[in-house]
Amino acid sequence: MRDKYDIVIVGAGPAGSTTARFAAAAGASVLMLEKDRDIGIPVRCAEGASEAGLRAVLENIDERWIDNRISEVFFHSPGEKMVELKFKQVGYILNRKLFDYDLAQMAVRAGVEVLTKAYVFDLLREDDKIAGIRFSHMGKTFDVKSRLVVGADGVESRVGRWAGIKTRTKMGDIETCAQYTVHDLNLADNHLHLFFSSKIAPEGYLWIFPKGDGRANIGLGISGDAAAKKAPVSYLDEFMAERYPHASILNSVAGGVPCDRTLETIVLDGLMLVGDAAHQCNPITGGGIAPALIAGKIAGQVAGRAIAEGDVSAKSMQDYPRRWHKAEGRNHQIFYRLKNYIYKLTDDELEGIAEAALHVPVAKRSLVTLFRAALVKKPSLILDAVKVFT
Ligand X SMILES: Cc1cc2nc3c(=O)[nH]c(=O)nc-3n(C[C@H](O)[C@H](O)[C@H](O)COP(=O)(O)OP(=O)(O)OC[C@H]3O[C@@H](n4cnc5c(N)ncnc54)[C@H](O)[C@@H]3O)c2cc1C
Instruction: Pick from 67, 153, 173, 203 the residue near ligand X by CB under 6 A.
Output: 153
- How many residues sit close enough to ligand X to count as binding (CB under 6 A)? 39
Residue 123 Cβ vs ligand X, minimum distance, rounded to whole Å? 11
Residues paired with residue 249 on neighbouring β-strands, in sequence order: 182
Instruction: Pick from 101, 119, 336, 389 the residue near ligand X by CB under 6 A.
Output: 119
Binding positions for ligand X, 175-204, rule CB under 6 A: 177, 179
Stretch that binds ligand X, among 6-14, 226-234, 265-273, 327-335 (CB under 6 A): 6-14
| Residue whose CB is less far from ligand X, 47 or 260 | 47
Binding positions for ligand X, 281-320, rule CB under 6 A: 281, 286-289, 292
11 makes contact with ligand X (CB under 6 A): yes
Binding positions for ligand X, 48-107, rule CB under 6 A: 48-49
Q: Give CA–CA dist 337/284, Å, rounded.
A: 9
Residue 116 Cβ vs ligand X, minimum distance, rounded to whole Å? 9
Stretch that binds ligand X, among 7-15, 80-88, 241-249, 342-350 (CB under 6 A): 7-15
Stretch that binds ligand X, among 29-37, 303-311, 321-329, 362-370 (CB under 6 A): 29-37
Count of CB atoms situated within 10 Å of the CB of 344: 12
151 makes contact with ligand X (CB under 6 A): no
| Residue whose CB is less far from ligand X, 77 or 179 | 179
Instruction: Pick from 83, 107, 130, 152 the residue near ligand X by CB under 6 A.
Output: 152
Three state DSSP letters for the chain: CCCEEEEEEECCCHHHHHHHHHHHHCCCCEEEECCCCCCCCCCCCCCEEEHHHHHCCCCCCCHHHEEEEEEEEEEECCCCCEEEEEEEEEEEEECHHHHHHHHHHHHHHCCCEEECCEEEEEEEEECCEEEEEEEEECCEEEEEEEEEEEECCCCCCCHHHHCCCCCCCCHHHEEEEEEEEEECCCCCCCEEEEECCCCCCCCEEEEEEEEECCEEEEEEEEEHHHHHHCCHHHHHHHHHHHHCCCCEEEEEEEEEEECCCCCCCCEECCEEECHHHHCCCCCCCCCCHHHHHHHHHHHHHHHHHHHHHCCCCCCCCCHHHHHHHHHHHHHHHHHHHHHHHHCCCCHHHHHHHHHHHHCCCHHHCCHHHHHHHHCCCCHHHHHHHHHHHC
Instruction: Pick from 25, 46, 148, 317 the residue near ligand X by CB under 6 A.
Output: 46
User: What x-and-dash track marks residues 244-283 binding ligand X by CB under 6 A?
Assistant: ---------x-x-x-----------------xxx---x--
| Residue whose CB is less far from ligand X, 120 or 345 | 120
- When CB distances to ligand X are compared, the closest residue is 288
| Residue whose CB is less far from ligand X, 275 or 283 | 275
| Residue whose CB is less far from ligand X, 162 or 371 | 162
33 makes contact with ligand X (CB under 6 A): yes
| Residue whose CB is less far from ligand X, 17 or 369 | 17
Angle between helix 14-25 and 96-109 (nearest 10): 20
List interacting residues with ligand X (CB under 6 A). Answer: 10-16, 33-36, 44-49, 119-120, 152-156, 177, 179, 219, 253, 255, 257, 275-277, 281, 286-289, 292
